[in-house]
Chain A
Amino acid sequence: GAVVSQHPSWVICKSGTSVKIECRSLDFQATTMFWYRQFPKQSLMLMATSNEGSKATYEQGVEKDKFLINHASLTLSTLTVTSAHPEDSSFYICSGTGQGYEQYFGPGTRLTVT
């Protein structure tokens, strides 16, 4: 299957700082990328849908000014958590779709805000 990478795989930051997470499709062009968040022992919850060259669509309850998403190319989407707080600590997972119905998931980024 197609490969999606995420960087970094884990990050620890101080409260109030910003963190950028990159999601790259390595061997396919992802016209659409999705960002999910997963709290411990819970399922994945969709945060936003990102289409290349346009503004992201955020799910209800997700602050677009706090979670900045940029999908500048067909192989790269970034999620920036601005002014991070401990409650933002979570596992962030991106996925990309090319052709067909399968979504290809990145390995996830574990964010810990102290």
Chain B
Amino acid sequence: SQQGEEDPQALSIQEGENATMNCSYKTSINNLQWYRQNSGRGLVHLILIRSNEREKHSGRLRVTLDTSKKSSSLLITASRAADTASYFCATANSGNTPLVFGKGTRLSVIA
């Protein structure tokens, strides 16, 4: 079963703009992860945020986590055409449990 719901389902922006994607989940988590997937390709791990963390940065990525609202957001700043992909959030209850993926957001960055 799927845990998360991403919003929006699809997002189209101009190069240079910021892209924000949101993810909500239902149960308690140990950590939440964001992945990118180019069409027909495998997953690329972007960032992991633990349940006791509120914000994390990695390059042009900024992730927030609000466990009281069971939600997370992924911000990509100064987007590039190469950022065009599907983005998924995934949650884990503990270290050795399977990830439960959200439905994903399809991001299109137009040059």
Q: A and B, one complex?
A: yes
A-to-B contact residues, CB < 8 Å? 1, 31-32, 34, 36, 42-46, 49, 91, 93, 95, 97, 100-108, 110
Q: CA A80 – CA B35 in complex, angstroms?
A: 26
B45–A105 touching, CB < 8 Å: yes
Question: Which of A43, A49, A102 has most chain B Cβ within 10 Å?
Answer: A43
Q: Which residues of B contact A106 (CB under 8 A)?
A: 42
> Cβ of B101 < 8 Å from any Cβ of A?
yes
A69, chain B: closest CB distance, angstroms? 13
**Which size bracket describes the interface of B in this complex?**
20 to 34
Residue of A nearest to B104 (CB): A43
> Cβ of B103 < 8 Å from any Cβ of A?
yes
> Cβ of B99 < 8 Å from any Cβ of A?
yes
Identify which of B35, B43, B48 contacts A101 (C-beta below 8 A).
B48
Question: Which of B48, B92, B94, B95 has most chain A Cβ within 10 Å?
Answer: B95
B45–A108 touching, CB < 8 Å: no
Identify which of A43, A46, A107, A110 contacts B98 (C-beta below 8 A).
A46
B96–A31 touching, CB < 8 Å: yes
A105, chain B: closest CB distance, angstroms? 4
With contacts A34-B98, A97-B95 known, is A44 near B42, CB below 8 A?
no
**CB-defined A-B contacts under 8 Å, sample of 13:** A34-B99, A36-B101, A43-B2, A43-B101, A43-B103, A44-B101, A45-B101, A46-B100, A93-B43, A97-B96, A101-B94, A102-B48, A108-B41
A101–B41 touching, CB < 8 Å: no
B88–A101 touching, CB < 8 Å: no
Interface residues of B in 40-70 (CB under 8 A from A): 40-43, 45, 48, 50
